[in-house]
Amino acid sequence: MEQNIESHLKENRLFKPARAFAKKARIGSFEEYRKLYRESIEKPERFWAREAKELAWQLPWKKVLEWKAPDAKWFVGGKLNVSENCLDRHLDGPRRNKAALIWEGEPGEKRIFTYQQLHRDVCRFANVLKRNKIKKGDRVIIYMPNVPEAAIAMLACARIGAIHSVVFGGFSAESIRGRIADCGATAVITADGGYRRGTIVPLKQNVDAALAGKTTVKRVIVFRRAGNEIHIEEGRDVWWHRELEYVGAKCDPVALESEHPLYILYTSGSTGKPKGILHTTGGYLVGSYVTTKYVFDLREEDVYWCTADVGWVTGHSYVIYGPLANGATTLMYEGAPNWPEPDRFWRIIEEYAVSILYTAPTAIRAFITWGDQWVKKHDLSSLRLLGSVGEPINPEAWMWYHDKIGGGRCPIVDTWWQTETGVIMITPLPGAIPTKPGSATLPFFGVDPAVVDAKGNEVPPNVGGKLIVRRPWPSMLRGIYGDQARYRKQYWSEYPGRYFTGDGARRDKDGYFWIVGRIDDVLNVAGHRLGTSEIESALVSHAKVGEAAAVGRPDELKGQGLVVFVTLKAGAKPTPRLKEELRAHVGKQIGAIAKPDEVRFAEALPKTRSGKIMRRLLKEIAAGKAVTGDTTTLEDFSVLAKLASPEE
């Protein structure tokens, strides 16, 4: 497919940073952004060295970057420890007794850890790891609910140089088994259970199933969270709280090479088994530190809440490592956004006076369908900045977020990045870059992205193409664990020497990036390549639509016919007339070629546990086929059953 992706959705609204916000911001004008950006591209080593020096190094680096595509080494010769930077570094001054972590459990418990307390708990648990013969370089699976102990386990691994691999608590026993086998993990840290929508997820039971038969795992450490009954395998399983009785609170952070692996995080591609994305110590820490500082423009007094689960990369970089490296107060919530009622998020924001909220478009669209009355019940005036990540945010969802949640006064940072990139790559800086709803705007410092055609040439403004990155950045993945050949093929072979993101995008005349999503999500309707996200955005811009998913189905005439699945807002009636109205609406927004051949109403859409719509399943349903593909990442199976037997 040599043809370019066409982009039809035009968005003309522009929001300039408010003067009051800009005045206090670290980067307070567009000129300042441009100047620093230019330096970061022309003199990257100078830029990154200056930033990295703000962190604690046990041994200074000799060379900022060694680059032999596709292998990068950052801060070569330097030694440091991530947990020392996230904890010890803050203990000498007034941050010592500042809240590092605020946590709320789904049933309602509240816990607050100061930096001093979190440091002590991490040191003690690091001693538990040592006591259980876990050492530097060992791979440790963390399969936990979104509780402080998940963060403590990660930081404790980092403290002794063990490599953690967090597996999202919603994944199945099979998924855990596959990941253990792939990385040769010798230990698992888990909990008896975790709470999700009022029920207990049997985490330990899943671990038991994953370990049945032959396994490399010798030790399982179990945190008591839900109090549900579990099996304890003598000689293999130990309780977290019991182990603590045997250890002290002194544990020096180990000095680690800058390129020492920090973690492996598995991410699924559209084909093949999950890839173990490898991140290392120095570059990743510098990247998460710097992006959190500038993108969220953190202030000492902020209460910062990133709603991601620690099981995702966003939970790694922006719940734990980035905020803690900055000495921020980071909030963690265990459960579902609509438990016990759809106002749980707004309740939390009011309760803790959250000032920065970083969440996903899928959540925002769900809130829209649940209705504004849930938002209106709460005082959200503590908020000063909003963020979005995970998928393209539809302009109408952006506007709702801006008006209803941000009260029209909070800048929105729509941040584009990936598990592979480790940290935010394309994003507005809230005091400097004017935003356009639906655009991630401009590259972060040191990031050199471009939109190119099949031959690798940059395409003109407003022409769609593939998104690549032309030079290395500190937090880039260092490989796919155990499979460097796949690493090269997947990311570096399409455009030799340059990183291929797998995403489609266009730049407008101002150089702003508009990400249209994964290349695999592109449809070809009568010779036009359309990004599914544009069609979905057009639908979501209709007053009655909350969420939409567009997929292709085989069509003899057009190559692909367009089927859209639509979830209506609370109160809207699914009628044949509305279907017609929606077809016409898309036609008007994008053009006649994008008019859906079929509109199907759905109560809910099938999503992965990280909130991405599973278009692959919808495609099978749209084509009238039975769903055959892998559904292990599906959030809610009942959705699928309802879709397969449509209403009417």
- Kindly list the residues in this chain that would bind ligand WTA in the complex (CB under 6 A): 267, 313-314, 389-392, 414-419, 440, 501-503, 515, 517-518, 610
**What phi, psi does 222 have (nearest 5°)?**
-115, 120
One-letter amino acid for residue 78 of the chain: G
Report residue 579 as tokens.
């279907």
Nearer to ligand WTA, 417 or 499 (CB): 417
Half-sphere exposure of 537 (CA within 13 A, CB side): 29
Whether 230 contacts 206, CB under 8 Å = no
Q: DSSP letter for 18, please.
A: P
Nearer to ligand WTA, 322 or 390 (CB): 390
Closest residue by Cα to residue 394 from 414, 372, 417? 414
Nearer to ligand WTA, 72 or 393 (CB): 393
d(CA 154, CA 262): 9
Query: Which residue in this structure is represented by tokens 């399943």?
Result: 617
Nearer to ligand WTA, 80 or 522 (CB): 522
Nearer to ligand WTA, 446 or 561 (CB): 446
Tell me the torsion sign for CA atoms 557, 558, 559, 564.
negative
Instruction: Please report, for residues 99, 316, 602, the alpha-carbon distance to residue 536 in angstroms, rounded to integers and kept in the order given.
Output: 41, 29, 14
Strand order across the beta sheet in which 110-114 lies = 110-114, 99-104, 329-333, 303-306, 356-359, 385-388, 412-414
Three-class DSSP labels, 72-91: EEEEECCEECHHHHHCHHHC
Instruction: Please report, for residues 409, 462, 586, 617, the alpha-carbon distance to residue 543 in angstroms, rounded to integers and kept in the order given.
Output: 23, 27, 13, 27
Residue nearest to ligand WTA (CB): 419
Helix axes of 532-540 and 576-589: crossing angle, nearest 10 degrees: 120
d(CA 80, CA 88): 12
In the complex, least distance from residue 14 CB atom to ligand WTA, rounded to whole angstroms: 18
Nearer to ligand WTA, 281 or 475 (CB): 475
Nearer to ligand WTA, 114 or 427 (CB): 427
In the complex, least distance from residue 612 CB atom to ligand WTA, rounded to whole angstroms: 7
In the complex, least distance from residue 84 CB atom to ligand WTA, rounded to whole angstroms: 26
In the complex, least distance from residue 521 CB atom to ligand WTA, rounded to whole angstroms: 8
Report residue 46 as tokens.
């100078």
In the complex, least distance from residue 274 CB atom to ligand WTA, rounded to whole angstroms: 11
Nearer to ligand WTA, 315 or 561 (CB): 315
Q: 128-162 burial string, b = 16+ CB within 10 Å, else e?
A: bbbebebeeebbbbbbbbbbbbbbbbbbbbbbbbb
In the complex, least distance from residue 555 CB atom to ligand WTA, rounded to whole angstroms: 26
Closest residue by Cα to residue 314 from 155, 440, 422? 422
In the complex, least distance from residue 514 CB atom to ligand WTA, rounded to whole angstroms: 9
Nearer to ligand WTA, 390 or 464 (CB): 390
Nearer to ligand WTA, 128 or 424 (CB): 424
**Angle (nearest 5°) at CA 121 between 118 and 124:** 150
In the complex, least distance from residue 446 CB atom to ligand WTA, rounded to whole angstroms: 18
Nearer to ligand WTA, 342 or 552 (CB): 552
Classify the phi-psi angles of 152: left when phi > 0, otherwise alpha if psi is within -120 to 50, otherwise beta. Answer: alpha
Helix (H) or strand (E) holding 325: helix 322-325
Nearer to ligand WTA, 6 or 414 (CB): 414
In the complex, least distance from residue 10 CB atom to ligand WTA, rounded to whole angstroms: 17
Burial of 648 (0-12, 13-18, 19+ CB in 10 A): exposed
Tell me the torsion sign for CA atoms 424, 425, 431, 436.
negative
In the complex, least distance from residue 109 CB atom to ligand WTA, rounded to whole angstroms: 29
In the complex, least distance from residue 341 CB atom to ligand WTA, rounded to whole angstroms: 28
In the complex, least distance from residue 150 CB atom to ligand WTA, rounded to whole angstroms: 18
In the complex, least distance from residue 537 CB atom to ligand WTA, rounded to whole angstroms: 11
In the complex, least distance from residue 501 CB atom to ligand WTA, rounded to whole angstroms: 6
Q: DSSP letter for 488, please.
A: I
Count of H-run helices and E-run strands, the chain: 21, 30
Whether 93 contacts 111, CB under 8 Å = no
Nearer to ligand WTA, 121 or 414 (CB): 414
Closest residue by Cα to residue 262 from 474, 68, 517? 474
Nearer to ligand WTA, 342 or 361 (CB): 361
One-letter amino acid for residue 113 of the chain: F
